[in-house]
Structure 1
Amino acid sequence: MKPPASNARRSFLARNPSVLIFLLALAAFTIIVTIASEAYGVGFVSTSFVKTLGKTLCLCLVALAMDLIWGYAGILSLGHMAFFALGGYMIGMWLMYARTEEIVVAALAQGGLPATPEEVTQGIATQIFGVVGSSDLPVIWSFAHSLPLQLMLAVAVPGLLAFIFGWLAFRSRVTGVYLSILTQAMTLALALYLFQNDSGLRGNNGLSGLQNLPGLGDTSQDLVSVWFFWASALALGVGYLTIAWIVSGKFGSVIRAIRDDEARVRFLGYSVEGYKLFLFTLTAIIAAIAGALYYPQAGIINPAELAPIASIYLAVWVAIGGRGRLYGAVIGAALVSLVSSWFTSGQVPSIPLGFATIHWVDWWLVLLGAAFVGVTLFAPKGIGGLFDRFQGIATPDRKGAALGPDDGSLQEREAQE
């Protein structure tokens, strides 16, 4: 009985060395990129690539959220990129408002007389919404002048939407492919609404100029890109640690049990719907935080970012990396994101075949789809399954009994514990 007691006294990181390894690797990566950047180092890494790396870290964070809800709980959501985009919209409203306010105040100051608050507000509204034929500030922009309030909304709006949707879906016990279709329908409906000019978010034009931080007009993008890279790395580290802690305890055991046999867990007296609702809301908030860090680095956001295909890509990243493995989700998102940036940048030479020419900008999605099909058919554990081989984790002898409905998760390891 002593070894279990001794193990219980060990710290979380001591009991989960893979988490510590990931955090140390992330810290080392952050330091290396900083030293190699143009702002603080030798200039080996360009500012544009630092932004690409920062955005990739944000995508890794939303992939972690997807892995928690899908890989561990078995809920295939095809709408989490909607929460990601909503987080970007909320912080983008403040960025665009505050930056426009600086421009308007400077322009009105040239008139000789001090501008009134009403004139400043009217000037801001005209500058922002003139492109959609309006000069009035919508009600949803009432708090755009306040960074703290918009940061709260960046979490509250996606979280509230996820809570309401999840409560309606889970109380009706919608599961499986039907739930996936519903989440996709929610995303499509939200995207179609935001495409309208009267949505209050500039319709198809979206929000732009988000890379210009208010009050820091004289600060170079070299510095700003590194700052956001640091923030993205910190968010990923905290997110990884938090999710790893969630799945390592009793809560993690319950959600894995829900994934494998929901009816039995409900029979044992657990509130299955409550667990699902909590996870759905939590992962939506994590996705929103990732989006709030992503779009200031991207510089622009529009309703196309909410297209259902974006959430499908997210599922592909997690599947390629390995469901039910947090490091697998990070690897999948980082690999596909960076490879996608390379193939679509036009730097990859085309391949002439005589009768046709393969332009990778056009064929990248075909290659990604083929990779997803290949992983699904031949390597359901994804890239993360390779680490199982290195660790000597083999499939247990279950005497022919099935491991459960989700062969892509870590059920082999769970069956041995």
Structure 2
Amino acid sequence: MTSPSSVRKYPTGGAGGVKPPAFTDSPSLFARNPSVLIFIACLAAFTLAVTLMSEAFGAGVISTSFVKTLGKTLCLCLVALAMDLIWGYAGILSLGHMAFFALGGYMIGMWLMYARTEEIVVTALSQGGLPATPEEISQGIATQIFGVVGSSDLPLIWSLAHSLPLQLSLALAVPGTLALVFGWLAFRSRVTGVYLSILTQAMTLALALYLFQNDSGLRGNNGLSGLQNLPGLDGTSQDIVSIWFFWASALALGLGYLTLSWVVSGKFGSVIRAIRDDEARVRFLGYPVEVYKLFLFTLTALIAAIAGVLYYPQAGIINPAELAPIASIYLAVWVAIGGRGRLYGAVIGAAFVSLLSSLFTSGRLPDIAFGPVALSWVNWWLVILGLAFVAVTLFAPKGIGGLFDRFQNLRTPDRKGAPLGPDDGSLQEQEAQQ
């Protein structure tokens, strides 16, 4: 017989007097993930502090160039969130997501360059005394933009460059379509693991090599420049424009964090973590694994494109080198250093490495002499980054974000000697409760 003390009792309530767990109120997103409120509060405080210390609205403690650096860093944090969702939660190591990031930048860059060039051409032609015809304006724009590659014709892909709404639509449509087609071909063939990583890297390399050609319609190696000059805002100083983009980047990062936190906290998040840990079992249970993967791949590509749309007007220039496979490898390194499988870890990793990179490559740090040999930070920064990645992989697989586990007393579950599963750092029992 079962003793009375071993019978599980539920709180009374309802008509039957008993309220089983199936009918308990599900906790809210913030109750399940307290880190979301903490992150949003920290981001809001950071945004306010930078605004008050900027040259645009405050004491001028932070220069305009550094405000742009911080804005670009927030954009990189957003694309790191996308990488963490696809890799840290779903186990798909994509080495091509910076291609979607750059494509978003190219799409908005086309409008910025076209509209700015149109203003210059119209102003120049108006000094001739006679009003310029649309054909003359169009020819002048094409010559100004493509004269550097020996052409005076506007390529077909620039047909919508005159319209900001249309180009913004293309900024999502082009990367989204590429991700959808590539993902459908790869996932339906059940390409996984390192083979999928190689395919994404090959896609990125092929796209970069194509854009390096002068006849690609995007000015080849010259890329698109002058993107920091917003059309119609000649009277607005760069310190004001930089803080506007900083605000937009902070807002996009906050919304992205909220959205992805909601995605990984519900049933959908449990399924994608299960796919990461045991894909065959999830497929056996009847879940459409390929559909989940395709949705995640496309969603994260769109997030990366949005980050690129906000990043390159602050950078001022974009060229095919931005699509190089090494850029996507850097992205994976950021997430690994920050701690994959933790959204805040991806943000910490991207911000930490990006700001350190800006410091070490700025040329402001003095070289360190070791006898006849001098350590140049600019030349050795990538070596330091590589060593940091190896050290984190070997000695701190949870990354910087794992330090927060200690503050919260989160420990690996005691399974009495049984393995945790394919990913020992995933804390699967704790994730199952979210």
Query: By the TM > 0.5 criterion, same fold?
Result: yes
Specify the alignment match of 2:412 in structure 1.
Answer: 395
Query: Counterpart amino acid of 2:419?
Result: A
Measure the CA separation in 2 of the matches of 1:404 and 1:119: 67
Specify the alignment match of 1:237 in structure 2.
Answer: 254
**Tell me, what secondary structure is at the counterpart of 1:259?**
helix
**Tell me, what secondary structure is at the counterpart of 1:210?**
coil
Query: Is 1:129 paired with 2:165?
Result: no
Specify the alignment match of 2:300 in structure 1.
Answer: 283
Query: Is 1:103 paired with 2:120?
Result: yes
Deviation at 1:405, TM superposition (A): 2.0
Which residue, 292, 295, 304 being the options, matches 2:309?
Answer: 292
Query: Counterpart amino acid of 1:26?
Result: L
Which residue, 249, 269, 276 being the options, matches 2:286?
Answer: 269
Specify the alignment match of 2:389 in structure 1.
Answer: 372
Deviation at 1:397, TM superposition (A): 1.4
Query: Is 1:15 paired with 2:32?
Result: yes
**Tell me, what secondary structure is at the counterpart of 1:8?**
coil
Query: Counterpart amino acid of 1:242?
Result: T
Which residue, 359, 366, 376 being the options, matches 1:342?
Answer: 359
Measure the CA separation in 1 of the matches of 2:249 and 2:309: 10
TM-score, with length taken from structure 1: 0.98
What does the per-residue CA deviation read over 1:150-190, in whole Å, with 9 as the maximum and x for residues that have no partner? 00000110000000000000000000000000000000000
Which residue, 31, 36, 39 being the options, matches 2:48?
Answer: 31
Deviation at 1:403, TM superposition (A): 1.7
What does the per-residue CA deviation read over 1:96-134, in whole Å, with 9 as the maximum and x for residues that have no partner? 000000000000000111111111111000000000000
Q: Given that residues 412 and 427 in structure 2 are in contact (C-alpha distance below 8 angstroms), is that contact kept between their aligned partners in structure 1?
A: no
- Specify whether residues 396 and 409 from structure 1 end up closer, same or farther in structure 2 by C-alpha distance, changes over 3 A only: closer
Deviation at 1:355, TM superposition (A): 2.8
Specify the alignment match of 1:170 in structure 2.
Answer: 187
Specify the alignment match of 2:196 in structure 1.
Answer: 179
Structure 2: give runs of 5+ residues left out of the alignment: 1-9, 12-18
Deviation at 1:395, TM superposition (A): 1.0
Query: Counterpart amino acid of 1:167?
Result: W
Q: How does 1:13-92 map to 2 (within 5 A)?
A: 13-92=30-109
Specify the alignment match of 2:240 in structure 1.
Answer: 223
Specify the alignment match of 1:143 in structure 2.
Answer: 160
- Specify whether residues 294 and 119 from structure 1 end up closer, same or farther in structure 2 by C-alpha distance, changes over 3 A only: same
Measure the CA separation in 1 of the matches of 2:393 and 2:90: 19
Specify the alignment match of 2:380 in structure 1.
Answer: 363
Measure the CA separation in 1 of the matches of 2:247 and 2:241: 10
**Tell me, what secondary structure is at the counterpart of 2:25?**
helix
TM-score, with length taken from structure 2: 0.94
Query: Counterpart amino acid of 1:248?
Result: S
- Higher Cα radius of gyration: 2
Q: Given that residues 396 and 416 in structure 1 are in contact (C-alpha distance below 8 angstroms), is that contact kept between their aligned partners in structure 2?
A: no
Q: State the aligned residue count.
A: 417
Q: Given that residues 126 and 136 in structure 1 are in contact (C-alpha distance below 8 angstroms), is that contact kept between their aligned partners in structure 2?
A: yes
Q: Given that residues 413 and 427 in structure 2 are in contact (C-alpha distance below 8 angstroms), is that contact kept between their aligned partners in structure 1?
A: no
Measure the CA separation in 2 of the matches of 1:199 and 1:7: 58
What does the per-residue CA deviation read over 1:228-269, in whole Å, with 9 as the maximum and x for residues that have no partner? 000000000000000000000000000000000000000000
Query: Counterpart amino acid of 2:217?
Result: G
Measure the CA separation in 2 of the matches of 1:101 and 1:115: 12
- Specify whether residues 368 and 109 from structure 1 end up closer, same or farther in structure 2 by C-alpha distance, changes over 3 A only: same
Q: Given that residues 86 and 288 in structure 1 are in contact (C-alpha distance below 8 angstroms), is that contact kept between their aligned partners in structure 2?
A: yes
Deviation at 1:322, TM superposition (A): 0.2
- Specify whether residues 266 and 10 from structure 1 end up closer, same or farther in structure 2 by C-alpha distance, changes over 3 A only: closer
Q: Given that residues 322 and 408 in structure 1 are in contact (C-alpha distance below 8 angstroms), is that contact kept between their aligned partners in structure 2?
A: no
Structure 1: give runs of 5+ residues left out of the alignment: none
Deviation at 1:396, TM superposition (A): 1.0
Deviation at 1:311, TM superposition (A): 0.2
Deviation at 1:401, TM superposition (A): 2.4
Q: Given that residues 270 and 432 in structure 2 are in contact (C-alpha distance below 8 angstroms), is that contact kept between their aligned partners in structure 1?
A: no
Measure the CA separation in 1 of the matches of 2:41 and 2:139: 50
Deviation at 1:402, TM superposition (A): 2.2
Deviation at 1:360, TM superposition (A): 0.4
Specify the alignment match of 1:308 in structure 2.
Answer: 325
- Specify whether residues 244 and 50 from structure 1 end up closer, same or farther in structure 2 by C-alpha distance, changes over 3 A only: same
Q: Given that residues 149 and 219 in structure 2 are in contact (C-alpha distance below 8 angstroms), is that contact kept between their aligned partners in structure 1?
A: yes
